[in-house]
Amino acid sequence: MFNLIYRTPSNLKNDVLSGATVALALVPEAVAFAFVAGLEPMIGLYAAFMMGLITSIIGGRPGMISGATGATAVVMVSLVALHGVQYLFAAVLLSGVLQILAGIFKLGKYIRIVPHPVMLGFVNGLAIVIFLAQLGQFYIKSDMGDTVLMEGNMMVTMLALIALTMAIIHFLPKFTKAVPSSLVAILVVSVLVHSLGLEARTVIDFVRDMLPADQAATATLEGTLPTFAIPNVPFTLETLKIILPTALILAAVGLIESLLTLTLIDEITGTRGRGNRECIGQGVANATNGFFGGMGGCAMIGQSMININSGGRGRMSGVTAALVLLAFILFGASLIEMIPLAALVGVMFMVVLGTFEWASLRIFRKIPLSDAFVIVLVSGITVVADLAIAVIVGVIVSALVFAWKHAQHIAVEKSIDDQGMKVYSLRGPVFFGSVSNFKELFTPEEDPEHVVIEFARSRISDHSGIEALDSLAEKYTALGKTLHIRHLSPECIELLAKAGDLCEVNQLEDPAYHVASDKLG
Residue of 113, 358, 104 lying closest to 256 (CA atoms)? 113
pTM, entire model: 0.76
| pLDDT score at 424 | 95
Which pLDDT belongs to residue 507? 47
213: β partners: none
The rounded Cα 427 to chain-centroid distance in angstroms is 37
CB 345 within 8 A of CB 201: no
What confidence score (pLDDT) does residue 93 get? 97
Regarding beta strands 411-416 and 450-460, do their DSSP bridges make them parallel or antiparallel, or are they unpaired? unpaired
**Distance between CA 180 and CA 309 in Å, rounded?**
8
Rounded alpha-carbon distances, angstroms, from residue 18 to 337, 351, 454? 20, 14, 62
State residue 97's pLDDT score.
97
**95-116 burial, b if ≥16 CB within 10 A, otherwise e?**
bbbbbbebbeeebbeebeebbe
Confidence at residue 398, expressed as pLDDT on a 0 to 100 scale: 92
State the Cα–Cα distance between residues 178 and 8, nearest whole angstrom.
Answer: 10
Q: Note whether 500 and 446 are within 8 A (CB).
A: no
Query: What's the pLDDT score for residue 7?
Result: 53
Provide φ and ψ at 136, rounded to 5°.
Answer: -65, -20
Hey, what long-range contacts does 140-148 have (CB within 8 A, 24 or more apart)?
140/201, 140/205, 140/209, 141/208, 141/209, 145/213, 147/209
CA atoms within 13 A on the CB side of 280: 12
What number of residues does the chain have?
521
Strands (E), 277-417: 298-299, 411-416
Tens digits of pLDDT across the chain (521 residues): 345 555 555 688 999 999 999 998 898 888 888 888 889 889 999 999 999 999 999 999 999 999 998 888 888 989 999 999 999 999 999 999 999 999 999 988 888 788 889 988 988 988 898 888 888 889 888 777 778 889 889 999 999 999 999 999 999 988 888 888 899 999 999 999 999 999 899 988 888 887 777 777 777 888 899 999 999 999 999 999 999 999 999 999 899 989 999 998 998 888 889 999 999 999 999 999 999 999 999 999 889 999 998 889 999 999 999 999 999 999 988 888 999 999 999 998 998 888 888 888 888 888 888 999 999 999 999 888 877 788 889 999 998 998 888 888 899 999 998 888 999 999 999 998 899 999 999 999 999 999 999 998 898 888 888 889 889 989 999 999 988 888 887 878 877 876 777 666 554 466 776 676 655 44
Amino acid identity at 114: V
Burial class (CB in 10 A: 0-12, 13-18, 19+), 365: exposed
Residue type at 71 in one-letter notation = A
Amino acid of residue 153: N
Buried b (16+ CB within 10 A) or exposed e, 308-347: bbbbbbbbbbbbbbbbbbbbbbeebbeebbebbbbbbbbb
All residues at 6 or more sequence positions from 25 whose CB lies less than 8 Å from its CB, including other chains: 182, 302, 303, 306, 344, 347, 348
